[in-house]
Homo-oligomer: A and B are copies of this chain.
Amino acid sequence: MSWTITAEHIDGLARGAAVLGTGGGGDPYIGALLARQALADTDVTVVGLDEVPDDALVLFVAMMGAPTVMVEKLPSLDEVVEPVRALGVHLGRPVTHIACAEVGGVNSTIPIAAAAALGLPLIDADGMGRAFPELQMVLPTLHGVTASPLAFSDEKGNTGVLQTVDNSWTERIARVACVEMGCSVMISGFSMSGVQARESLVADSLSRCIEIGEAIARARDSKTDPVAAAVALLHGRELIDGKVVDVQRATTTGFARGRARIDGAGDTSITLQFQNEHLVAEQDGQVLVTTPDLIMVLDGESGEPVTTEALRYGQRVRVAAAPADERWHSAAALAMVGPGYFGYDMRAHRFDGTISTGGTETESGVLSEGNEPR
């Protein structure tokens, strides 16, 4: 069922997207600014995955770079559509739909701006159901969709189009270009048919973001618990209610990397490790939850999501965990986004503390090696 997204949806959408963005995906305030600006003169039609024609030409539009830099380089509407235009030459036929590569404060709203500027419908779906730091880390990669041709562009007017041998090479080359171009570029790629989009995207993401974002606001307004409201919708659990007592963070090679410690009541303490997104939560040296499941930090009182670059000493926060889209638990997916890929020597732990076996794809019962640390 298609619906119209308007400026009134944006606050809820940006907030909910920042929750699912697990600390990454950019500042929801910046994302909301951009989307409201784009929707000032026009509405955008949002269509369900089941409504996308088989022969559609769907493109992701996203911002690539360090969220710490995105805050200082809000793109113009011209910039947002430039990579889509640059891809036109390569694809040879008109783009029909825009989709979100990930959910996150900026990358759920940039595509709205792109859809508005291009007069195209937006799909109520995304490529992850969460946020991840590298370009190849989307479910379409696991379904054989190529990131290439992928276009990137900066605010100065430089553009590039890559055609690479695999999606990891797209990431590598686009990343160094992104760093050279100022640590933040607009990208578009992963061209998909409607069939491929239905097969590989996470359905109803935008609706879900709005639902979560509005539930947090409603709970706050009615003096009930906004974090509990979000956790219930996510089918997750709360890990700790406490205070940020330590944050280490560095922006290196285009990523915001670091760790944070949150002390709760009694002697409880949780350590989070992040690379744009929160990837590992540990308690007393024991792994609680890891990527690909969701680890989220919310403001202790307002329930507002706290991005990794906004974490500050002394903040009252609550940390929650929730299940990722189940496709992220296949062996191939764990090899791509499991803790081992990010350099953490541990198995993937689901939000409830159980081990993710990587067995989703191996129906024979023989578990593959996808969950081994790299």
Contacts and interface: CB of A to CB of B under 8 A. Distances in A.
A181 interface: yes
B159 A163 contact: yes
Contact of A160 (B157, B158, B160): B160
A165 B161 contact: no
Contact of A177 (B158, B161, B163, B177): B177
A160 to B, nearest CB: 5
A250 interface: no
B165 A169 contact: no
Interface string A153-170: 000111111111100010
Contacts of A180: 172-173, 175-176
A86 B148 CA distance: 13
A303 to B, nearest CB: 41
Given A89-B89, A173-B180, A160 B159 contact: no
Interface string A331-365: 00000000000000000000000000000000000
A160 B176 contact: no
A179 interface: yes
A173 B161 contact: no
Contacts of A177: 173, 176-177
A188 to B, nearest CB: 14
A90 interface: yes
Contacts of A173: 158, 160, 177, 180-181
Contacts of A159: 162-164
A173 B174 CA distance: 10
Interface string A174-196: 01110111000000000000000
A176 B162 CA distance: 14
B165 A156 contact: yes
A186 B298 CA distance: 49
Q: A162, A173, A179 — which one has the most chain B CB atoms within 10 A of its CB? A: A173
A86 B169 contact: no
Contact of A158 (B157, B158, B162, B176): B162
A165 B158 contact: yes
A163 B86 contact: yes
Contacts of A169: 156, 158
A86 B90 CA distance: 10
A172 B158 CA distance: 11
A157 to B, nearest CB: 5
Q: A161, A162, A179 — which one has the most chain B CB atoms within 10 A of its CB? A: A161
Contacts of A163: 86, 158-160
A189 to B, nearest CB: 12
Contacts of A156: 165, 169
Contacts of A158: 162-165, 169, 173
A160 B159 CA distance: 10
A179 B160 CA distance: 16
26 contacts: A86-B163, A89-B89, A89-B90, A156-B165, A156-B169, A157-B164, A157-B165, A158-B162, A158-B163, A158-B164, A158-B165, A158-B173, A159-B162, A159-B163, A160-B161, A160-B162, A160-B163, A161-B161, A172-B180, A173-B177, A173-B180, A173-B181, A175-B180, A176-B176, A176-B180, A177-B177
